[in-house]
DNA sequence: GCGAAGCAGTAGAGCGCTCTACTCCGTGAC
DNA sequence: GTCACGGAGTAGAGCGCTCTACTGCTTCGC
């Protein structure tokens, strides 16, 4: 910077002003400085800038699972919104381990990010509140409402109703749910399903699962081994539903003729032709945008928490159909 | 830091030593400092530390496309390797636009990352070399070999051979390729295919595409509209292959009875039951690990470039089969 | 008993910026 | 002609650390 200043024949302060394109510099000196900077290959050191200014214009985005397209699509929305506001975004993932998430968030804090955006963080509620009380935080798909941070969630109860209504309309009464285990939104989705089933006088069949293909496949096997297997399976998310599809194919059970399958999230995967999964749509990109909006408000000083809830919508594709006539366990 | 130092009754320098757990501090003062830091909720400011030390222990990872599981899986390998070396990794994506990639890389440079890892960067070769001459760089899946940076690439020629051999073994002679357009590895994959076909005396049929589902679907439609459509389609990557699958289903063409389909990358998508795509396997996680290894070597001073090439392997699944008897364009 | 060696700790300069408070100079109002 | 004013630019302190060179003090060998 000193070099640039002396080469351009101005003070360091002026160079600084030019680099931040302040209106306080004349066109001529701006030119001179820019030319000198170009010649010397000078680029401002962000660390020094942030240290001096106390602001980083950076938000950390922690994604629970980089494999799940739900999260990357959400991140895309967040990145676009951040971009419009000249915020830099840093993506990190805990790679599905709590220690990993902790490390990721701490890295953001050590960097003094202006705020953090947590997506389905697997961290405990205590840790979450702990972090949130130290810096502006917005949490997406967490289903834990706190006064310390803003949240953006999906109306899981309604989601459960949509799925059950759809399946009931098709004549199904024996519907099995594969839950997401202890993961964020797992319990909410499960409870939404149970509530909807009970309201309609139907017995909710629930088996334990997780939000990935393997767990979906394993749980599907369990369900199909019941004395009277369900005629429809509602998986906790699209990934798990895909596991179900895979397993059913292996077992020679055809979809939707023998068994209907429903997912959740409406990730790109659900729309793929050979999969064509009926699922519950979430506006992923918009989720990310809203989260950034809230975060920006928080960063600029809002103290009281805001909690947004988005309404889901059912997307019908070809993995669901009318209940089969022969209600026995279909084999081939 | 001053507060911590005075609370613990030691100098700032000692606090600094403790925070970097240097062996030069006695157990007792370490305890005191840690306790004081805990009480005051002190955490070292990374920006200041990096500014003072001139090192960041951070590498930037720029992924071409966050939607393509190939990249996220590679990033996972990179993250694991980085983690073992106490390197912090920053993920960024250009969201499929060159300007986005430029911004992402410049953000890394402004942050003075110790090095950058580029995955299938869409940047021009000139820009690539420009960045690489300024900081340690490793480029994965770029297929542009330069003395300024290390590369980790797949042997695309061999990949093309594997696919063609497999299809020829199944009796196919009219094989269409959907290329990746101008994207990194697009031309290499195309040329690998062409070379392999010509070597076997077969006419290479090539249509333009891109590495996503939409392009795959559109190109498949084109191929099927030929007077004599191909009996096998080799898509540029798994994503495009999935587009092909979707389109063929729409057209009532069954896979693999009427047409065989092959992808490239062997992402998780390929393994999904209803997709079950024959594809060319790339060790994605290992790609990431190797890249980090190379980057670390570069950061610690190696000057001469290293270029790793990995051998692909064909994974047979159920999207390929023997050539149909009736060679006319199948309709339903 | 004395000097060399080694351990624990410290002072203070410096990393590369920003920011506040200032100076200087050309205008325009009266 | 004088003075207030605003635009353009500058000096220098400080952001929160690390690092080099140093000081004391204990230990050990002979």
- Per-residue pLDDT, A328: 44
Q: How far apart are CA B287 and CA B211, in angstroms?
A: 19
Q: Which of B81, B275, B278, B284 to mutate to test the interface with A (most CBs of A within 10 A)?
A: B275
Q: CA nearest B76 in A: which residue?
A: A95
User: Cα distance from B94 to chain A (closest Cα, Å)?
Assistant: 10
DSSP letters, B105-156, are HHHHHHTT-SEEEEES--S-HHHHHHHHHHS-EEEES-----SSSEEEEE-H
For nucleotide C20, the protein residue with its alpha carbon nearest to C1' is: A13
Segment A64-86 shows an average pLDDT of: 91
Q: Which of B43, B274, B278, B318 to mutate to test the interface with A (most CBs of A within 10 A)?
A: B274
For A26-34, which contacts have Cβ atoms below 8 Å and span 24 or more sequence positions? A32/A8, A33/A4, A33/A8
Residue-wise pLDDT for A271-283, tens only, equals: 988 899 999 999 9
Considering only the beta carbons, identify the residue of B47, B56, B272 that sits closest to A112: B47
Q: How far apart are CA A104 and CA A119, in angstroms?
A: 12
- pTM, full prediction: 0.89
Neighbours of A79 (CB within 10 A): 27
Position B22 confidence tier, pLDDT thresholds 50, 70, 90: confident
What is the three-class DSSP state of B194?
A: helix
Q: How far apart are CA A214 and CA B2, in angstroms?
A: 52
User: Which structure tokens are listed for B110?
Assistant: 């402004």
8 Å CB contact between A170 and A260: yes
CB contact under 8 A, B91 and A88: no
pLDDT at A152 over 60: yes
Distances in Å between the alpha carbon of B303 and those of A214, B105, B114, B147, B288? Answer: 44, 21, 15, 9, 21
Segment B136-146 shows an average pLDDT of: 94
8 Å CB contact between A259 and A220: no
Q: Which of B179, B150, B175, B148 is nearest to B163 (CA)?
A: B175
Instruction: Note whether B52 contacts A: Cβ–Cβ < 8 A.
Output: no
Segment B172-193 shows an average pLDDT of: 95
Beta-carbon contacts of B185 under 8 Å, excluding residues fewer than 6 positions away, are B120, B141, B142, B143, B154, B156
What is the three-class DSSP state of A44?
A: coil
pLDDT at A95 over 50: yes
pLDDT at A314 over 70: yes
Tally the residues of chain B.
Answer: 332
Positive or negative, the CA dihedral B164, B170, B171, B175 is negative
Residue-wise pLDDT for A235-264, tens only, equals: 999 999 999 999 999 999 999 999 999 999
């Amino acid at each position: 910077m000193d070099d640039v200043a002396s080469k351009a024949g101005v003070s360091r302060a002026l160079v600084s002003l030019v680099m931040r394109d302040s209106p306080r510099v004349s066109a001529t000196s701006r030119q001179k400085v820019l030319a000198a900077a170009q010649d010397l290959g000078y680029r401002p050191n962000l660390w020094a800038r942030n240290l001096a200014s106390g602001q980083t214009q950076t938000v950390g985005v922690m994604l629970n699972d980089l494999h799940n397209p739900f999260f990357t699509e959400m991140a895309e929305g967040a990145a676009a919104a951040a971009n419009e506001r000249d915020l830099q975004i840093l993506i990190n993932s805990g790679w599905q381990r709590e220690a990993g998430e902790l490390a990721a968030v701490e890295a953001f804090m050590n960097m003094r990010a202006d705020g953090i955006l947590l997506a389905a963080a697997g961290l405990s509620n205590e840790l979450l509140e702990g972090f949130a009380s130290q810096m502006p935080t917005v949490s997406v798909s967490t289903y834990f409402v706190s006064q310390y941070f803003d949240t953006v969630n999906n109306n899981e109860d309604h989601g459960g109703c949509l799925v059950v209504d759809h399946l009931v309309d098709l004549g199904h009464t024996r519907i099995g749910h594969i839950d997401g285990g202890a993961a964020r939104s797992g319990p909410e989705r499960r409870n939404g399903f149970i509530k909807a089933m009970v309201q309609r006088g139907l017995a909710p069949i629930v088996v334990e699962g997780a939000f990935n293909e393997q767990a979906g496949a394993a749980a599907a096997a369990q369900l199909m081994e019941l004395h009277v297997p369900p005629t429809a399976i509602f998986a906790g998310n699209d990934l798990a539903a895909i596991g179900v599809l895979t397993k059913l194919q292996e077992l020679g059970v055809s979809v939707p003729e023998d068994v209907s399958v429903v997912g959740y999230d409406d990730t790109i995967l659900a729309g793929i032709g050979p999969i064509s999964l009926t699922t519950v749509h979430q506006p992923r990109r918009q989720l990310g945008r809203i989260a950034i909006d809230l975060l920006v408000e928080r960063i600029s000083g809002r103290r009281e928490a805001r909690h947004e809830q988005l309404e889901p919508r059912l997307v019908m594709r070809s993995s669901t159909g009318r209940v089969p006539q022969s209600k026995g366990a279909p084999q081939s």
